[in-house]
Structure 1
């Protein structure tokens, strides 16, 4: 007897083909959807940074690229302009040390041609014995060129904290109108525990505050401060370094935000740190020593 049922395979082929067609259609739909999302995201980024892009494309002057490639310089300049634009009612400043070599202070006025610079932090000391070789020169020049000035100490974790405080006190003579002293802590200790580091930092802060009769400012990177200092050092004015491209505004608990280390300022060779103060000119003067 002949069997014909085994020949009936057409419906199965049709089902398999239909399944493949469905998968293909779904795949195309996913590609189309992700394509639309990418375009929307790209347009959003362009819109968000439209001012900086237009500024760069239309009005950017030629500047020395320093250690950055041309593309890196372009990206950094766009971000700098965007951050400054978002804080156009805030005060802007910069910070320098001997690494900037000889500074032509009379040429320093604005950054990106539009944003006035009103204050400067100057490195005075480092560790228990180091004095910045250009501190006195920069300190006097800043005053002569009408900048509100502040002095900072670079803390070395493996050196005695009181000796470091005394080094700063011997070097820095703060006057009325100057910003409070600054403790710059960036490094982790090699020869002591974190708890021991914190004790040393507190000793430095207390010793310096007792001398100048004003609470010092703490400078550190955001991650360093959050991970190691935040719980024990609440109440101190903060100067936070965060260069993240996606951080667009100063945080409410930061007095100062160092948002770039790659700015270019007329009168200063090489790249410079630039800072935003969290307030107006009146607020900045109110922070200064009375």
Structure 2
């Protein structure tokens, strides 16, 4: 039988020019949409922070074109935005030995616009350490008419009663002074959270009994939410939160430390700045009688 040669027919499928162009068009439209959306977000952010940006880049013609008038400016755009929205809430700051020698007579306002009404001063650390500048800062704050308050930096793995005794021995509150403050920022390395909370309560109880004033607790927002908010709900809180997108304080915060990077005339380097959840008269209402 003779062999027959069979030729295979190779069928080539060609893409339709119409389908290919449609796919390319869709891809380009998606890319354009992403670009447009990004531009809208960018300009939205710029518009939202327009006053702060103008302030930061010295476009406000009333004072900021003068270089000398910018020396006291707040470096962060967000800080300016927060201060613009605070209304009549009192503004203050906090210091420790890390600010070194403070020219207290020069410490009055933030950029001549925001009066500084109060100051918190670190007094003690743990069970055995005094802040090197406390006595000087405490005295000069009073001499320069600031509403002053003292705080203790709590070390979780040291005896709570010894820490309270050191604070009581160091700080003599007078009429017009703010309640004592317990600064808790760290977790314990050697004990459970429950034991740490017991120590905090012992410190608070002992200090309150001595001064006849309920202490304020200072901490970060996450620490507050995770560990303290429920069990210490009968205390008032001073919360640290530097989140760029937060521009207002929660109603249940007594004080809000909204930045650690402000500039204040008379103080070297960065300074923590705080807002009280009320005006100056309301602030005086919680001071020692």
TM-score, normalised to structure 2's length? 0.89
Q: Residue 102 of structure 1 corresponds to which residue in structure 2? A: 101
Are 2:19 and 1:54 aligned? Answer: no
Distance between the aligned counterparts of 1:241 and 1:78, measured in 2?
A: 18
Counterpart Cα distance in 1 of 2:150 and 2:29: 60
- State the secondary structure of the residue aligned to 1:83: helix
**Equivalent residue number for residue 203 of structure 1:** 202
Partners of 1:109 and 1:281 lie apart in 2 by 15
Aligned residues: 273
1:1-290 → structure 2 map (5 Å cutoff) = 13=14, 16-58=16-58, 59=64, 61=67, 76-290=75-289
Shift of 1:8: 9.5
Give the secondary structure class of the aligned counterpart of 2:174: coil
Q: CA deviation at 1:41?
A: 0.8
The answer as to whether partners of 1:96 and 1:121 remain within 8 angstroms in 2 is yes
Partner Cα separation in structure 2 for residue 123 and residue 159 of structure 1: 18
Q: Give structure 1 stretches of 5+ with no counterpart.
A: 1-5, 65-72
Instruction: Answer yes or no: is the 8 Å Cα contact 1:88–1:115 preserved in 2.
Output: no
| Cα distance per residue 1:243-267 (max 9 Å; x no partner) | 1111111111111111111111110
- Higher alpha-carbon deviation: 166-175 or 222-231: 222-231
Distance 2:111 2:84 in 1: 10
Q: Distance in 2 between matches of 1:8 and 1:190?
A: 74
State the Cα deviation string for residues 168-201 of structure 1 (Å, max 9, x = none): 0111111121110000001111111111100000
Q: SS of the counterpart of 2:274?
A: strand
Give the SS at the match of 1:178: coil
8 Å CA contact 1:218–1:238 kept in 2: the answer is yes
Structure 1 contact 81–112 (Cα < 8 Å) conserved: no
Secondary structure of residue in 1 paired with 2:76: helix
Q: Secondary structure at the match of 1:149?
A: strand
Q: Alignment partner of 2:101: what SS? A: coil
Q: For the residues of structure 1 that align with 2:49 and 2:279, how far apart are their CA atoms?
A: 25
Distance 1:7 1:195 in 2: 78
In the TM superposition, residue 159 of structure 1 has moved relative to its aligned partner by 0.5
Alignment check: 8 A CA contact 1:127 1:156 kept: yes
Counterpart-to-counterpart distance in 2, 1:23 and 1:164 = 71
- Determine the C-alpha separation between the residues in 1 that align with 2:131 and 2:10: 94
- SS in structure 2 at match of 1:276: strand
Structure 2 gap ranges (5+): 1-8, 59-63
Question: For residues 64-85 of structure 1, what are the alpha-carbon distances to aligned partners after superposition, in whole Å with 9 as ceiling and x for unaligned?
Answer: 9xxxxxxxx99x4212211111
Structure with a larger share of its residues in helix: 1
SS in 2 for 1:136: helix
Root-mean-square deviation over aligned CA pairs = 1.9
